[in-house]
Amino acid sequence: MSQLTVKILFVADVIGHEGFEIMAETIPRLAKDYDFDLIVANGENAASGKGLMPRIVDDFMASGVHVITSGNHIWNKQKIFPVLNNHPHVLRPLNYPPGTVGRGSCIFETSGGYRIAVINLQGRSFMQPIDCPFRVADRIIQDLHTQGIRIILIDFHAEATAEKLALAYHLDGRITALLGTHTHVQTADERILPNGTACLTDAGMTGPSRSVIGMDISTAIQRFMTQVPVIYKIGEGNPVFCGAIVEADAISGRAQHIERLQIRG
């Protein structure tokens, strides 16, 4: 590999306090071996399983995270709205309609002087019918390329595997990596596509594995058996750190390596 390589750590959906704790413990251990240029974490479930709070943003940044992405649950805590408007590295999905609070992309400059773009998108299959992520991605990527930015990471927060793979192939060669989030179930399909884009359908979740995708087991069973809405309760126990490491050529932005992570606490 070229010496001009950037290393990116992506942390899958961080669920509650247990998720934050294992993330904060794991990042320094990984950083010793990889010396990351950028660390991105999806934080939409960090506040008791749904949403994000300002103090948690501070905790994330103190743990070593540079950029926080999100998804449909970012709207669950209104106290985060001013942060979305004012913090340059806390993102909501870009393809919400014009006028929506916050921003959906940012450019992070590494200590080595490389500019890396992070884009947050949300899918539409089985989710809200917001703006088309494909067309929104086309527009912003063209603008980034005009600025000379070739290292581009996308967190695609989507339900359907097909939608995630379709967008990855649509953008192959134009972005560095597309990493899926939202389902909280890590997929074992990491790959580098023919034109140099790394792809992982879903990075999984960082939080209590003794749960139903982060939810308290008995509460989840009750919801399915009665079909009656119950108050969300976060699961506890057996924390797991999930995510991915992407290494890319710093000049072309082409991915050179992707490694899926699942680390038990």
- Asked if residues 160 and 133 have their Cβ atoms less than 8 Å apart, the reply is no
Q: Exposed, middle or buried by CB within 10 Å (0-12, 13-18, 19+), for 10?
A: buried
CA 113 to chain centroid, in Å, comes to 23
| Residue 151: closest CA among 67, 29, 43 | 67
CB atoms under 10 Å from CB of 48, counted, come to 16
Active site residue 73: yes
Q: Which element (helix H / strand E) includes 119?
A: strand 115-122
**Cα–Cα distance list, 184 to 99, 105, 130, 162, 265 (Å):** 29, 22, 22, 16, 17
Sign of the Cα torsion 89, 177, 170, 126 reads negative
Helices in the chain by DSSP H: which ranges?
Answer: 16-34, 54-62, 81-86, 133-146, 161-171, 217-226
Encoding tokens for residue 114? 């490389």
Q: Residues 73, 87, 89, 184: which is the catalytic one?
A: 73
Active site positions, annotated: 73
